[in-house]
Chain A
Amino acid sequence: MPETTSGTLPHTSVSPAPTDVAPLVRTGSLLRFMLRRDRIRLSIWVLGIGLMALYFSNAIQVIADGVEELAQMAVLFSDPVGRMMTGPAFGMDEPSFERFYAAGYVLFLYILFALMSVFLLVRHTRTEEQTGRAELVRANVVGRHATLTAALLLTGGANAAAAVLVWVASGPVAGYDAAGTALVAAGGFSVGLFFMGAAAVAAQLSQSSRGASAMAGGLLGLAYLIRMGGDMVEQGGSALSWFSPLAWSQQTAPYVEDRWWPLLLPLVAAAGMVALGFWLSTRRDVGASLVPPRLGRATARPSLGTPVGMALRVLRGMLRGWAIALVLAALMFGSYAESMVDAADGLPEEVAMIMTGDDLMLGYLAYMSLFLAIFVAAAGVSGLQVLRSEEVHGRAEFALSLPMSRTTWLGAHLAVLLGGLMALTLLVGLGTAVGAGASLGDLEHTGSLLLAGLHQFPAVLAVVGIVVALFGWVPRIAGTVGWVIIAFSGIATNFGPMLDLPDAVLNLNVFGHLAQHPVEDITLAPVLWLSTLGVAGLVLGLLGWRRREVNRV
């Protein structure tokens, strides 16, 4: 019986040699599988972006009572520092609610689109390969390009859905002009697709999902920095702005000029990068990267035989990555100092009377020290997450089977982390000082800028202390709480005044208490109590870590 059926099958049905299996076979099944796995994560991303748009586009009408008040507030976005933070500030000489929305808030929606794209795409491609799950999937009848295609469809679909929600929130709900609203939504979609393409390439280049996310995320950071420099120079952006994918969507100037053609740039670039991603994926094996791993040392250096040496190797890569990114950012921010002095020339007379060019420049540099310190604290939180993953992945357990106490293990890791963060604050201060010195042509402010960087350390220590205390007692929530603190600090520092948050809420901002050196003199009280908070957190965390069970499952 079997012989007759198998004899007829090849002629009646398809499927000849395996080489002829279409590269996209089972894309649909994989897409359904991804949707099933991500039904919650995906909903949070898409709804989150929609809710942010809803909040922004409806809060402005509440914050500002009328067009006159809006005109006063427009300075926030149209002065050089404001343009650095939020964009080219189109139409701020004649502000309306919708223009205010496009100039001040839409950039953050774009950043969320970009982050969503990077995380979703890397999660379904490189992460799957790194964990070996991709191998399991590819062992079935699954086309060579099916996984990447399904991940692209998923990410593209999520971007489209989020764009529709943004359109609903700012058009029909907030009542903003139809053409501009469509551009805002299309701009988000285009940014999302651009970074989806970037992630598709990064996923082929790096062997680890963290590396791939860092690569694509680094591109986003670079896009932001370039846009900062470009938009700061003049209202409406300068030639430099046009090198940033984030700026392309902003250059559509929604509600002002309503031009569609800048969106061709991200869409064409996205198509190109997606094609490159597909091509690169055919040049490598499953699980492998394009950069082959190298052989290392057969024996350890003497330094590795100590708890601190162990901790150094655990945290080194993470600290190095943050250091490179933050020093580059500091150099760039510092080098805008001269532009700040120039910008003061254009200030209205009544402002110039109370604020000189130097004041403006130093105020800007003080603000940058604060801004970068939040990122140093973010490095601290990600370092503590590395420690938590040491525990979760069983490496802490293995290390603690050595004659090494809990206190020594955590103490050594914290010593390395805090030492690294201290070095980061110094490097950031130095970077700002060197950048500013180069642009101003003198090194007059070097000392005070180094001090400004270091002066933020107590706030960083406080954040680390809080997260370490949680690590000692309720490790499950430590990382999440850490990132909430960082996100809140960033929002409260940058947008606290704009969002009209009550003082009680603003006071919760760890970074809102230190004096703004070098424009203000350093006050000792916040330095002391933030340091005390930090040290208390460290001690509490160590006590908890000694008492609790390791990696209890």
Chain B
Amino acid sequence: MSENPPVIRTEKLVKRFGAVRALDELDLTIATGEVHGFLGPNGAGKSTTMRVLLGLLRADSGTVEMFGRDPWRHAVALHRRLAYVPGDVELWPNLTGGEVIDMFLRLRGPYSTARRDELIERFALDPRKKTRTYSKGNRQKVALISALASDVDLLLLDEPTAGLDPLMEVVFQQTIKEATQNGRSVLLSSHILAQVEALSDRISIIRAGQVVESGTLSELRHMTRTTIEVETARPAGEIAGMSGVHDFRTEGERIIFEVDGERVEDLMHQLAPLGVRSLVAHPPTLEQLLMRHYGEDLGHRSVAEGAQKG
């Protein structure tokens, strides 16, 4: 396995649209069998990356390889090994959902009708309706079912659940877990933080066309701050002055602050002698991860959007 080239590898990938650098030296690597969360707000370059990976757009400079090959030149051969769910699924209005699913499965190669029917049932899709009558969520289900029922090595999912309700979101997470058990790799772009958190082995955070942070969730958490709410027997004002402590404030009996990941141990030594009555520690949320990279203003904006979609 280790001799296999990475499923996806980009190095200093640049894509320009006129004067705008949509992708600005983007580095991204996904190993076989990995679920990789691709996290960033709208307009960060997630969909552009997907479309370069599909060979629909041509990279201006840098390297991009899928299974070790150039997606622009070897699109057809590579597409035999992957399935794609677009961010904004548009279907042929005069076909039924079932017809679109079948058309895609047949054009991709041999497939199991049992698997297809099972997925249609689990996603509760009525395949007899013309797609022009489908909601956004139903169109997404069609694309998801045709991708998940295919026998492929890689799933490229561009914000796949933006229109799904919470119940379908659960079904989606189950099906992705099943897919990875069968050894598939997944690139999952999203700004729905909980989803990425629940599914991903590794996460890359993209901002203005660059990957600003990449690693496992715990690696990323280590680099950020934990929120602590504590009630102590003796006054705890001295904590505010510790290095690595931020946003210190008092609410009645409690004090609330954030502490850098690497200072947690020091903090515990400082707190213990003060007589801790109660303590609540929140792990850093991905909202905080994002905010750290986008600054307060942008962070609030992207979180608000994520919450709306979720």
List chain A positions with a Cβ less than 8 A from chain B: 207-208, 293, 295-300, 304-307, 309-310, 313-314, 316-317, 393-395, 397-398, 400-406, 549-553
Q: A401 and B79 in contact (CB under 8 A), knowing A304-B102, A317-B94, A549-B58?
A: yes
- Which B residue sits closest to A547, measured CB to CB? B58
**Measured CA separation A4–B77 after assembly (Å):** 73
Q: Are B96 and A550 in contact (CB under 8 A)?
A: no
Q: List 25 A-B contacts (CB under 8 A).
A: A208-B93, A296-B99, A297-B98, A299-B99, A305-B106, A306-B107, A309-B103, A313-B95, A317-B94, A393-B90, A395-B92, A397-B56, A398-B89, A398-B143, A401-B79, A402-B108, A403-B79, A403-B107, A403-B109, A404-B76, A404-B107, A405-B75, A405-B76, A549-B58, A552-B17
Partner of B128, one of A207, A208, A297, A304: A297
A320 shortest CB reach to chain B, Å: 11
In the bound assembly, the distance between CA atoms of A293 and B54 in angstroms comes to 35
Closest B residue to A393 using CB positions: B90
Q: Bound state CA distance, A307 and B77, in angstroms?
A: 16
B17 touches A404 (CB 8 A): no
Q: Which partner residue on chain B sits nearest A397 by CB separation?
A: B56
Contact of A552 among B57, B79, B86 (CB under 8 A): B57
| B130 contact set on A, CB distance < 8 A | 293, 296
**CA distance in complex: A552, B75 (Å):** 17
- Shortest CB distance B118–A (Å): 14
Chain B residues near A305 (CB-CB < 8 A):
102-103, 106-107
Q: Interface residue tally of chain B, by bracket?
A: 35 or more
B38 sits at the interface (CB 8 A): no
Contact between B103 and A401, CB atoms less than 8 A apart: no
- Report whether B57 and A550 are in contact in the complex, using a CB–CB cutoff of 8 Å: yes
Closest CB-CB distance, A335 to chain B, in whole Å? 34
CA distance A98 to B92 in the complex (A): 52
In the A-B complex, the 7 residue pairs with the closest CB atoms:
A305-B106, A300-B102, A401-B84, A296-B96, A300-B99, A298-B98, A403-B79
Taking the closest CB of chain B, its distance from the CB of A394, in whole angstroms, is 4
| A300 contact from B57, B106, B129, B133, Cβ within 8 A | B106
Complex CA distance for A520 and B94, rounded to whole angstroms: 44
Closest to A552 in B: B57
Q: Which residues of A contact B17 (CB under 8 A)?
A: 552-553
Q: How far is the CA of A307 from the CA of B108 in the complex (A)?
A: 11
- Interface assignment of B80: CB less than 8 Å from any CB of chain A: yes
A313/B92 in contact, CB under 8 A: yes
Interchain CB contact under 8 A, A300 and B56: no
Q: For residue A310, which residues in chain B have a CB less than 8 angstroms away from its CB?
A: 103, 107
Specify which chain A residues have a CB less than 8 angstroms from the CB of B94 in the assembled complex: 313, 316-317
| Interchain pairs with CB closer than 8 A, number | 112
Which residues on A sit within 8 Å (CB–CB) of B127? Answer: 298-299
How many angstroms from the CA of A104 to the CA of B141 in the assembled complex? Answer: 58
**With a CB–CB cut-off of 8 A, which chain A residues contact B57?**
549-550, 552
CA of A297 to CA of B95 in the docked complex: distance in angstroms? 9
Q: How far is the CA of A465 from the CA of B11 in the complex (A)?
A: 40
Q: Which residue of A lies closest to B108 (CB)?
A: A402
User: Is A297 within 8 A of B99, CB to CB?
Assistant: yes
Q: Please encode chain B, from 49 to 86, with 1 for each CB lying within 8 Å of some chain A CB and 0 for all others.
A: 00100101110000000000000000111011011101
* Docked-complex contact B107 and A307, CB < 8 angstroms: yes
Find residues 146-163 in chain B having any chain A CB closer than 8 Å to their own CB: 156
**Is B88 interfacial (CB-CB < 8 Å)?**
yes
Distance of A361 from chain B, by nearest CB (Å): 42
Contacts A295-B128, A300-B101 aside, 6 further interface pairs with beta carbons under 8 A come to A296-B96, A300-B102, A305-B106, A394-B86, A400-B56, A403-B77
Interface: B104 (CB within 8 A): yes
Closest-by-CB residue of A relative to B22 is: A553
A300 / chain B contacts, CB cutoff of 8 Å: 95, 98-99, 101-103, 106
CB within 8 Å for A401 and B83 given contacts A313-B92, A395-B91: yes
CA distance A400 to B76 in the complex (A): 9
Q: Is the CB of B103 within 8 A of A398?
A: no
Query: Is B122 interfacial (CB 8 A cutoff)?
Result: no
Q: Is the C-beta of B132 less than 8 angstroms from some C-beta in chain A?
A: yes
The answer to whether B106 and A295 have CB atoms under 8 Å apart is no
Pair A401/B54 contact, Cβ less than 8 Å: yes
Per the bound structure, the CA–CA distance linking A207 and B132 in Å amounts to 10
CB–CB B98/A394 < 8 A? no
Q: Pick the contact of B79 from A293, A296, A404 — CB < 8 Å? A: A404
Specify which chain A residues have a CB less than 8 angstroms from the CB of B103 in the assembled complex: 300, 304-305, 309-310
**Quick one: given A305-B106, A401-B83, are A550 and B98 in contact (CB under 8 Å)?**
no
Determine which residue in A306, A394, A397 has the highest number of CB atoms from chain B within 10 A of its CB, and name it: A397
Q: Among A297, A306, A307, A309, which residue has the most Cβ atoms of chain B within 10 A?
A: A297
Interchain CA distance A53-B94 in the complex, whole Å? 42
**A452 to B92 CA separation, bound complex (whole angstroms):** 36
Write the nearest CB–CB distance from A249 to chain B, whole angstroms: 37
Tell whether, in the assembled complex, residue A299 and residue B98 are in contact, meaning their CB atoms are under 8 Å apart. Answer: yes
- Known A-B contacts A299-B99, A403-B109, A552-B17; A293 and B56 likewise in contact (beta carbons under 8 Å): no
Contact A403 B99 (CB under 8 A): no
How far is B96's CA from A405's CA once the two chains are assembled, in angstroms?
24
Please measure, in the bound complex, the distance between the C-alpha atom of A313 and the C-alpha atom of B131, giving whole angstroms. Answer: 13
Point out the residues of chain A lying under 8 angstroms from B93, CB to CB. 208
Whether the pair B86, A397 counts as a contact (CB closer than 8 A) is yes
How long is the Cα–Cα vector from A263 to B133 in the complex, in angstroms?
A: 42
- Which residues of the other chain, A, contact B84 by a CB distance below 8 angstroms? 398, 401
CA of A317 to CA of B94 in the docked complex: distance in angstroms?
A: 9
B76 close to A403 (CB less than 8 A): yes
* Chain B hits for A208, CB < 8 A: 93, 132
Question: A400 touching B54 by the CB < 8 A rule?
Answer: yes
For residue A309, which residues in chain B have a CB less than 8 angstroms away from its CB?
A: 103
Residues of B within 8 A of A398 (CB): 84, 86, 89-91, 143
- Inter-subunit contact A304/B89 (CB<8 Å): no
Chain B, 19-58, CB within 8 A of any chain A CB:
51, 54, 56-58
Question: How far is A85 from B143 in the complex, measured between Cα atoms in Å?
Answer: 51
Beta-carbon nearest neighbor of B88 in chain A: A394
Contacting residues, chain A, for B80 (C-beta < 8 A): 403
Bound-state CA distance A397–B101 (Å) is: 16
Given known A-B contacts A304-B99, A553-B17, A402 and B51 have beta carbons under 8 A apart? no
CB-CB nearest in chain B for A305: B106
Give the distance in Å from the alpha carbon of A236 to the alpha carbon of B215 in the complex. Answer: 85
Can you name the residue of chain B whose Cβ is closest to the Cβ of A300? Answer: B102
Chain B residues positioned under 8 Å from A397 (CB to CB): 51, 54, 56, 86
Contacts of A295 in B (CB 8 A): 96, 128-129
State A313–B127 Cα separation when bound (angstroms).
17
Contacts of B88 in A (CB 8 A): 394
Measured CB to CB, the closest approach of chain A to B111, in angstroms, equals 10
| Complex alpha-carbon distance, A305 and B113, angstroms | 14
Q: What are the residues of chain B within 8 A of A296 when measuring CB–CB?
A: 95-96, 98-99, 128-130
Q: Nearest B residue to A395 by beta-carbon distance?
A: B90
Do A304 and B106 touch across chains, with their CB atoms under 8 A apart?
yes
